[in-house]
Amino acid sequence: MAFAVLLIESAVFFVVFSLLLHTHETSGSVLLGRITESASALVLTVCCVAALYYSDLYNLSKVRTFWTCLVRVFRACVVGMLPIGLLLYATLPDGMRDWQGAAAAFVVMITTVLVSRTLWYHLMLSRPFTEHVVVLGKTLLAQAVIAELQTRPNYRILYDYQGRLNRVSKDVSSIPKLPERRWIDGVIRPTRIVVAMNERRGCVPVEMLLDAKRQGIVIEDGITLYESLTGKLAIETLKPSHLIFAPEFSISLLHSWTGRGLSLFAATLGVVFCAPLLGLIAVLVKLDSPGPILFVQDRVGKDGRQFPLMKFRTMAPIDGSRSAQSEWVKDNDDRITRVGRWLRKFRLDELPQLLNVLSGHMNLVGPRPHPASNYQLFMTNIPFYAFRSLVRPGITGWAQVRYGYANNLAEETEKMRYDLYYIKHRSLGLDLEILLRTTKVVALGREMKPESELVASEPFFDERNNAA
């Protein structure tokens, strides 16, 4: 849905900028003038869309009110002011190289976004585009699914079947109970039924679901829907037999080759073009505090093999009075240096890992490699942890752009859900999405927070149901 909004707004930007440029005379041939206008309009469109993207305006679940949209649009204008101003001066005709050109660009951006979002929300709330959902289950899974659906304007939770949902939050408790079989006689007409029960034997209303299926109602598994909504796997629901036989967890040679080729190409370009930056950072690290420039640590990679991972040093070396066994480093650790704090904020300390990519130990995208000293701890405490070694580790990954840093074992377990999602759904398209999200994190120096606050301190399913 967000991609459709992006395409529509991009088209509007391009058309309006083209008309704006066409109204001003250009020198030279008509054909050359048209080509110049189109190129200028395209560059301005890309700049506007990038500014909106970096202001989270294409994360539709975060922008649900007019005022939130307005604030973020103005923020996008501020973010894009310098690049748009430079592009306006470089691309616009002489007659528009003044404040009027910049003002016109910002008016186009604000008007387009506000009008398109207003129309989009009205469209999504209309009957043909609204999903009317009934949830079956008295589980944390049902609660999580409802919480996720309520952040999307085109989903409306109609009923909780027979009051099976554990009513623990204000939003969830407002959902009425569904009298048995009411949608069959035409009183209730959902478009989708989500089955989110722990134990289904003897509990699922099979005849009712069959009747609903015959009426064209979509019947959906709660686990599958949760996965698609959150971008992570519910580890508690995984069975060994699923991991063994599911084709999604098999190694794809096509993705392995394309991913490796993309990684080698990008790493080569990165080393060449970032060489001056690498040299500057090395000097700053050396001047800021005593110690080596690089931090080298044994990490666990593909097939459980260890390799030396390289990073710019961001912390003071550990002396004899400090424990060297700290498993997690928090941002307020007093050993982080002044330069190191900025390097960590913008992820620049990871740049030497381009050499790890070229050496074959890592890819550009993949689960982050963990320290070898933590390997047994994670193997013992995180379910299916060994499956991370199915693929090469990466400089950036799905867990990094969706969750951020982990500071304890519970957070590492939560990140494992995202890593398993990546392994199950890995593709060139997902890799490109991760790289695009990474540019936002690096450019804004932003620490990503969990997009779903549900950390499964309680299992979705009883452990006895996890057997193969």
Question: pLDDT for 300-336, tens place per residue?
Answer: 999 999 999 999 999 988 654 444 444 566 555 678 8
Q: What pLDDT score was predicted for residue 267?
A: 95
Who wins on pLDDT, 91 or 399?
A: 399
pTM across the whole model: 0.77
90 band by pLDDT with thresholds 50, 70 and 90: low
What is the average pLDDT score of the chain? 77
Who wins on pLDDT, 188 or 157?
A: 157
- Tokens matching residue 330: 């928090």
- Domain 129-230 -> CATH class: alpha beta
Report the range of poorest mean pLDDT among 140-149, 290-299, 454-463: 454-463
DSSP letter, residue 194: E
Characterize the bridge pairing of strands 294-300 and 218-221.
unpaired
Q: What pLDDT score was predicted for residue 308?
A: 96
Q: What pLDDT score was predicted for residue 4?
A: 78
Delimit the domains of the chain by residue range.
2-124, 129-230, 248-466
Q: Give the mean model confidence (pLDDT) for residues 397-425.
A: 91
- Which residues, in sequence order, are CB contacts of 377 under 8 Å at separation 6+? 327, 409
Residue 111 in this model has a pLDDT that exceeds 50:
yes
- Please tell me the distance from the alpha carbon of residue 350 to that of residue 396, in angstroms, as a whole number: 9
Question: pLDDT for 222-249, tens place per residue?
Answer: 989 999 999 999 888 888 888 888 887 8
- Please tell me the distance from the alpha carbon of residue 160 to that of residue 144, in angstroms, as a whole number: 13
Residue 325's CB is within 10 A of a number of other CB atoms, namely 7
Q: What pLDDT score was predicted for residue 273?
A: 94
Q: What pLDDT score was predicted for residue 328?
A: 62
446 band by pLDDT with thresholds 50, 70 and 90: low
Who wins on pLDDT, 37 or 12?
A: 12
* DSSP secondary structure, 388-451, as one string: GGGS--EEE-HHHHHT----SHHHHHHHHHHHHHHHHH--HHHHHHHHHHHHHHHHHTPPP--S
Contact criterion met (CB below 8 Å) for 271 and 354: yes
> How many separate helices (H) and strands (E) can be counted in the chain?
17, 9
Which amino acid is present at 125? L
Q: Give the mean model confidence (pLDDT) for residues 32-42.
A: 68
- Which residues, in sequence order, are CB contacts of 7 under 8 Å at separation 6+? none
Listed ranges 60-69, 128-137, 192-201, 295-304; the one with the highest mean pLDDT: 295-304
Contact criterion met (CB below 8 Å) for 26 and 93: yes
* DSSP secondary structure, 105-173, as one string: HHHHHHHHHHHHHHHHHHHHTSGGGPEEEEEE-SSHHHHHHHHHHTTSTTEEEEEEETT-S---SHHHH
Q: What pLDDT score was predicted for residue 453?
A: 38
